[in-house]
């Protein structure tokens, strides 16, 4: 799901576990991570929200959360940041992290 400067706060508030991929179109590693994020969205459809936030189009949110390198994936639980992951990781890594925060 796409999140943006206007929807991020409601998304975080209304969902127990949220993973947000901070990315940009011009970022090669972000494009590599994209299919993994899409698979996670499908895998965790009923359990967690998996979102993507384009930092070029949403500078307010990326600045607010201090995103300085991309790709950055931030996991939130009950509206609070619980983990920040910078760079590429494999799908199993993100799956394990999500399962940890869901339990």
The catalytic residue positions are: 27, 30
Q: What sign does the CA torsion over 23, 27, 29, 32 have?
A: positive
C-alpha distance from residue 56 to each of 7, 11, 49 (Å): 16, 19, 22
């Amino acid at each position: 799901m796409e999140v943006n400067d206007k929807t991020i706060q409601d998304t975080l508030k209304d969902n127990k576990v949220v993973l947000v991929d901070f990315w940009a179109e011009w970022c090669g590693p972000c494009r590599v991570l994209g299919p993994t994020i899409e698979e996670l969205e499908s895998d965790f459809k009923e359990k967690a929200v998996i979102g993507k936030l384009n930092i070029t189009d949403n500078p307010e949110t990326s600045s607010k959360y201090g995103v300085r390198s991309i790709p950055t994936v931030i996991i939130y639980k009950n509206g609070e940041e619980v983990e920040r992951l910078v760079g590429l990781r494999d799908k199993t890594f993100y799956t394990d992290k999500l399962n940890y925060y869901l339990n």
